[in-house]
Each structure stands twice: as C-alpha cells, then as structure tokens.
Structure 1
Amino acid sequence: MHRPWFLCALLVLALAACTPRLVPPGPDAPAGTTPAVQENQLRMADGTRLPLRIWPAREGEPKAIVLGVHGFNDYSMAFDLPGQWFAAQGYTLYAYDQRGFGATRYAGLWPGTDALTEDLGTAIVLLRERHPDKPFFVVGTSMGGAVVLAAAERGVLPRVDGAVLAAPAVWGRRTMPFYQRWALWLTVHTVPWMRMTAEGLDILATDNLIELYAMGMDPLVITATRIDAMYGLTDLMSEALEAGDVLPAPTLLLYGAKDEIVPAEPMLELWERVDERPGITPALYDDGWHMILRDRQAYTVWRDIAHWMREGNPLPSGADRRARQAIAVGTTDTMKDLAAE
C-alpha cells in the first residue's frame, strides 16, 4: 500500500542530491606564467582566456581608461554604444567577456562569485599596467555592478580612481518573497540543468527596441538560462547588497525609475546605507530603464558619467538631486512617481 509513496520519497531524495554545476577551472598555466593581455583577450592565472574588446580614444592620448563589466547573459559588446561615444570624447574603453558568458568556453554555466571577482581584479591590474599614468575607472552594469560590489566586499578590488555602477544587480535573497526563494532552492536542487526564458514575463529591459532586437539575434547573448546559473546570480546579488559599507569612493550609483529587472526597494536600501559616506553619489533617471547605458536616453547618462569622471558633482542632468529626494522620502514612491510622469 505504501510502496508508491516510498518510491516517490526515494525519487525526491535522489533529485535533491543534484547540485549546481559551475564553470570548471581553466587549464593549469605553465610554471612561471603570469596573467597577461594578449591581443584581443585576457589570460587569467589558470590559463582561462577571456575575449577583450577595445574602443580606443579617437584622437591623441586618452583622458582616462574605462573598464566595462557586463551584465548577466550578456557579453562585452554590451558596451558598444557607450564605447563609441566615450571614444569620441577622448576616453579608451575596454570590456571583456566574463567567464560563462559571451565567447568564453562553457558559456551558459555559472562561473561562481570567486572566479568573477578574481577575474575583475586581474583585469584591472593588467590594464592599469598598460596605462600606468592614466586615470582608471570601472563601470559595472547589472550583474557587472554586483561583481564590483562583491569584489569590494571581499577586499579583492584593486585601487581605481572611481567606480560607476549602472543598475547594479542587488536584488538579494532576503529582499525576495519567500515563495521565490523556496522555488529557486527546490528547482536548483532537483533540476539544475533546466533552462528558462523571459518569454511571457511581460517585462522590458530597455525602451531601445532596436537594441533588444539586436540582442535577440546575437548568438553570443544567452536567451535560455540554466536554473543553477540563476541560483548563482542570486548568491552574487545577496553578497553585493551587503557591500555598501565597503564600497570604494568615489562611486556613482545609477538607477532608472522605470527599471523592471532590479526592484526599487533593494536599490533604495543600498542608497540609504551609503548616504552618509563621502564620495558616494546616487543618481536617479526618470526615463531610465534597466539597460540604462543603452536606453533611448542613454546620452544623458553618458554625459553625466563623463562629467563625473572629470569634475565630480553635481551632475548636469540633476539625477543626483532626484536620488537625494528619493532617499529623503525613504520610500520608493518618489521613483514610481517620476516613472509615471
């Protein structure tokens, strides 16, 4: 009588033994080999090679060096639009494909926070050595912003002249509804290989529909995500949300009032945690979406970033003033009101 229930219990236990799969370490580099910049790639200490793209300053010596760190399921071409603009303004922008993304080996598997943060630290050191006399800034978008935050939390973020976090992924586990946490834990420990898409979710990452179409046609953009990759991203975001106390200064924290990917609540919490720290500037864009560096109003954001790197505050657009208003109110209503206008 109880045999079917017994078999079901055994099946659940067997599936629960499933564990998330991570990108395996790269081939061991030969003895004495050190990380290096090699033409269009970065070679890490374990031999892993990360594709590298460069948008060089179009005239003369660059005013500063900018390192772009892309978001989840994206890759270095995420910085093509801002890269072209910054190059025209006299900046040199680099961006690399993070492990598990773009043209790297094992794309689609989660690389782990350890690997992501260590790669970022290595990339900064290598590119600073290439440009020792230039100001150096790191720009992290979405997951890339979370990687910067986690690297700061772990004490593995090398010194930079400034950091820009554009819609950083700080939707930590403790800010999620319990049913989302439970469902994610259950699926990652039963069917970690299962893939999910964003079809039917009725959300937009940006109002730049041309860019969304191009991403949908790009074979290097991941459109079907493994459950264990989503679980790993949640771990990263949870760590990033707690990193406010160690965030390096100066830092510019950008958020769009129309962001449908990262909720306003955790972003406001991060702003409130760093509000009294000198050198940390929150900025709120009423027409900004999640892909804030590629939105239709992205020029406003690019101009603010360039101004901030040269001269600091206040920002030309007034986005820093709007963010201070949201912090003063202490709720996300200000953000929602701006988005509704």
Structure 2
Amino acid sequence: MTSSLYTETWLPGPDGHQFYTRTYAAPAPGPKAVILFVHGFAEHVGRYEHVHIDYPKRGITLFSYDQRGFGRTALDTAHKSKDASFGKTSWNWQLGDIEWWAKHLTKEYPGKPIFLMGHSMGGGLSLAFPTRTEPPPSPETVKLLHGVIASSPLIRQTYPAPKVMRWAGGKMSHVLPWKTFPADVPAEHLSRNPAANEANQKDPFIKRFGTLKGLNDMLSGGEQLIESDYQHWPKDLPILFIHGTGDKITNYKATQEFYEKVPASDKKITLYPDAYHELVHEIDGIPAKLFEECASWIEAHIPNSPAVDSTDAEDTNAPVSKL
C-alpha cells in the first residue's frame, strides 16, 4: 500500500516472521543516505510520521518497521504471523531483526551509507547493536553502519522499579517468559504536549503491558550497556546522543554517563533543557530542532561529504551541547 508520503509493506524477516514496514523514500535520483529506524516500547512507527516525512526532502530515505511484539506486527490479525502477540519479544530476537533489516537495506540501496536510529527502547537496542560480544549481530553487519543516533535511550529508568520486584521478575522470566505484566506509563510523563499524550492513550496499536521476558531483557540490557558493554563500541563508529533533561521515563544522566564512557572518537550529546521523553511530540519547536540536528549530523557523516564541523565531533572532555 502506498500513500503520497510513504510506502507501507508487509515483509518477511528472520524465520519468515511478518513485519509491518514503512519506507519514506527520497526522490530521484535516489537517497544519499538511508536511516534504519527502531521505535520504542509498546508503540509503533506510525507515531513518527509527522517527522519522518521530512527526511526525503533532504535526500535521505528512512525505513522503519513495527518491532516484533509491537504495533501492527503484533496486532494486525489479517497480516501478522500466527505466533505473534503483543509483547512477545526478546533482545536476541530484536537485535537479530535489526541485523536482518540492515542487510536488507544494504541490498536495496547498494553503496549508500546506512545510519541506525532508535528511540527509548529502540535507542537502547541501537546502542547494544554495536557492543554485543556474541551474535546477533555479526561484526560484519556492524561494519555496515556509518553512524548511530540514540534518542532518549533506555539505559536506566528515571524511576526504577524496586530491586526485589526486578529480581523476582527476572527469575520468573525464565519460567514464564510470555506471561504478560502491566507496564503503564502516565500519559503526562510522555511529553509536555497534551494533545499528543491524549492521542497516545487512544491509540489502538498501543497496549499497556509487556511480557516478563521482553521487560526483563529491556531493563537488564540497558544496565549491561552502561556497566560493561560500552567498552566494546567500535572506535570509528560515530554516535549522536539526544535527550531531554525533564525525561521522567529514561534517565538522561545515564545517557550522559554512557557518552562519557563510550570510546568512540566521534561522538556528540545534545540535551534539551526541561524536555520530556518523546522529543518528536514536544512543544516549543523541539520536533523541528530534533529533525534538523539529526539530518544535519547524518549529512556531515556521509562519506565524501564536506568535512565534519568541529562541534560535531567531540571527545569526552568536550562541553555538552544544550538547546
């Protein structure tokens, strides 16, 4: 199915699992770069349409998909895989899916640089993708990437669940991995935009629960990132971190800590003062600023493009950019 803004297609992924996908294609003569976008927990790619439509105007194609266990991939009864259900996922599956789509885009757009971009849970997965010591992914797939953008990544929660609950949930996830568990987030914590928060609450493709396995992998995976996996980041893989300092869901200080620790030679962090979790739905023109920063950063990191500005390549002693 095609609209004037994007093409939506059901495509088979690993093991033939069916995924709902959207492609925002750059016009002729084709893209100068391609984004692989990974959405957050319990949501879907349709929520980003108002921002994603702008990338083709800059000559950048954006490919997105509803993750395994979420959105239409989990809930569209006419198209989803028989074993798909909401929240039924794991980090191994999700990282394997990212690898699958990275290879897919490399074949679809040969010679074009691929950038991985993720928000919240997707941001955590995007940080994990280049740092895992065991497949998935393979080192060869990681080398396909020209840069990573992590928006409000889930490394640590702003208000963590009690340790005893986390411990019990982790143990139970080995026994009853697909047991559902409430995972509601107060709408007013998402953004300072009441209309966007209300739309989230009414969205039929958003459910307020996860599975024990999916939730435990997501939370423990973020902790593993900052405790040890950061050191495996490829030094020559550029990275851009973006976070709001008012985020009530994912801890922006954990993002700062990861930024300081990660051994990338080309890294940048931008903090949006007082902004909440969903920057694409924020007020005060933040969605437009976010798009401009991401598009400009990608353009500056396209091979054979003009030299990267010194403010775009910062070391661990450089000041944090604030908008």
CA contact (8 A) 1:152 1:243 kept: no
Distance 1:59 1:211, change over 3 A: farther
| Conserved 8 A contact 2:132-2:232 | no
Instruction: Note if contact 1:196-1:225 (Cα within 8 Å) is conserved in structure 2.
Output: yes
Asked if structure 2 preserves the Cα contact closer than 8 Å seen for 1:81 and 1:294, the reply is: no
- 1:229 deviates by 3.4
Shift of 1:94: 0.7
Q: Deviations over 1:187-210 (max 9, x none)?
A: 5639973532536x5851112332
Residue 231 of structure 2 is matched in structure 1 by 245
Aligned to 2:80: none
**Offset, 1:153:** 1.9
CA contact (8 A) 2:240 2:267 kept: yes
Matched, 1:232 2:225: no
Q: Distance in 2 between matches of 1:112 and 1:86?
A: 30
Tell me the SS of whatever aligns to 1:152: coil
Q: How many correspondences in the alignment?
A: 284
Secondary structure at the counterpart of residue 278 of structure 1 = coil
The answer on 1:168 being equivalent to 2:137 is: no
C-alpha distance 39-286 of structure 1, shift in aligned 2 (>3 A)? closer
Residues 307, 315 of structure 1: 8 Å contact kept: no
Q: Secondary structure at the match of 1:72?
A: coil
Q: Contact 1:150–1:239 (CA<8 Å) still a contact in 2?
A: no
**Match among 260, 282, 285 for residue 272 of structure 1:** 260
Are the counterparts in 2 of residues 196 and 227 from structure 1 also a CA contact under 8 Å? no
Q: Deviations over 1:291-339 (max 9, x none)?
A: 12332311111101111111244569xxx89x94459xxxxxxxxxx89
Shift of 1:168: 1.0
How far does residue 211 in structure 1 lie from its aligned partner after superposition?
Answer: 2.3
1:225–1:281 Cα change, 3 Å: same
Q: How far 1:101 moved relative to its partner?
A: 0.8
Q: Deviations over 1:104-152 (max 9, x none)?
A: 2433234111111111011000111100122221111111111122221
Query: Which residue identity is paired with 1:118?
Result: G
> 1:294 and 2:297 equivalent?
no
Partner amino acid for 1:40? Answer: T
Alignment check: 8 A CA contact 2:37 2:62 kept: yes
In the alignment, structure 1 residue 120 sits paired with structure 2 residue 105 = no
Q: In the alignment, what sits opposite 1:148? A: 126
| Match of residue 85 from structure 1 | 54
Decide whether the 8 Å contact of 2:33 with 2:113 is kept in 1: yes
| Gap change, CA 1:315 and 1:298, over 3 Å in 2 | farther
Partner deviation per Cα, 1:73-94 (whole Å, 9 max, x = no partner): 1122233122112123222111
After superposition, residues 257-268 of structure 1 pair within 5 angstroms as: 257-268=245-256
Contact 1:75 1:101 survives alignment (8 Å): yes
What is the CA-CA distance between 1:60 and the residue it aligns to? 4.1
Q: Which amino acid aligns with 2:279?
A: I
Equivalent pair of 1:208/1:295 in contact (CA under 8 Å): yes
Q: Which has the larger radius of gyration?
A: 1
Partner of 1:138, secondary structure, is strand
Q: Which moved more, 1:85-94 or 1:47-56?
A: 85-94
Report whether the alignment pairs 1:133 with 2:120.
Answer: no
For residues 180 and 282 of structure 2, the distance between their equivalents in structure 1, rounded to whole angstroms, comes to 31
Indicate the SS of the match to 1:293.
helix
Unaligned runs of 5+ in 1: 1-37, 328-337
For residues 41 and 123 of structure 2, the distance between their equivalents in structure 1, rounded to whole angstroms, comes to: 10
Q: 1:313 to 1:205 in 2, by over 3 A?
A: farther
1:2-25 deviation line (CA, Å, top 9, x unaligned): xxxxxxxxxxxxxxxxxxxxxxxx
Within the alignment, does 1:96 sit opposite 2:65 as a pair? yes
Alignment correspondent of 1:55: 24
| CA distance, structure 2, for counterparts of residue 202 and residue 141 of structure 1 | 17
- TM-score (norm. length: structure 1): 0.73
Partner in structure 1 of residue 15 of structure 2: 46
Over 3 Å counting, the alpha-carbon distance change for 1:277 and 1:66 in structure 2 is closer
Tell me the C-alpha RMSD between the 2 structures: 3.2
Which of residues 43, 68, 71 in structure 2 aligns to 1:74? 43
Report the counterpart of residue 14 of structure 1 in structure 2.
Answer: none
> What amino acid sits opposite 2:41 in the alignment?
F
| Greater Cα offset, 97-106 or 301-310 | 97-106
